[in-house]
Amino acid sequence: MDVLNGGEKVSLVGNPPEVGEQLPKFKLFNAENQKIKTRDLIGKPTLISTVPDLNTRVCKLETKKFNQQADHYPSVRFVTVSNNTITEQKAWCAAEGVANLEVLSDEELSLGYEMNLYIPNDGFLARTIFIIDAEGKIVYRQIVPEIHDEPNYLEALDVIKKYATEVD
C-alpha cells in the first residue's frame, strides 16, 4: 500500500489489516519500559492512533486532540503509537501535558511490521487510526492518504461513540 509524504508516494511494508480482521500480535513499550502485547490491549474498545513522530506539528495536534477526547469516553482505551524512543515520549508527554491516553513506543517496529504500517524508506509509521472492539476485532480503519494531513477525527469518534454507549 502507498501513502503520500509531502506529495511524494511512499510505500508501506505491506497491506494493513482490514476491518473484520483480528488485531495482529505485536509488542510495544510503555513509559515504564514495560512490554505491552496485543493481548494487553484487548478487553475494552480501543482507539489506536499511529503517528510518524510526536515531535512534529500534525502528530502533536492529533495526539493532543485524542488526549482531550479520552476524558469523554471512560470505557474506551485511547492509545497513540510512534516509533519515538520511550525517553522522547515521556519528555513530550510531560511538556505537552498529555496524561489521558497511553503513548506507547514501537521503537522495535513490531507493530509497524505486523500491521504493515512501517514506511521503510522514511523510517517511521504511517498516520492511521484503528479501532478494535473488546475482543480485538478491527471495527474501523483509517489510513491517512497524506501523512502531513490530520486524520478525520469526527469519523473515528462517531465509531467510538457507538462502542462507548454500549459499555458506559
* DSSP string computed for 131-156: EE-TTSBEEEEEE-SBTTS---HHHH
* 59 catalytic residue (yes or no): yes
Which is the catalytic residue, given 3, 12, 48, 59? Answer: 59
In this structure, the chain runs to a length of 168
Q: Can you give the pTM of this predicted structure? A: 0.94
Per-residue pLDDT of the chain (168 residues; tens, 9 = 90+): 999 999 999 999 999 999 999 999 999 999 999 999 999 999 999 999 999 999 999 999 999 999 999 989 999 999 999 999 999 999 999 999 999 999 999 999 999 999 999 999 999 999 999 999 999 999 999 999 999 999 999 999 999 999 886 544
d(CA 140, CA 156): 8
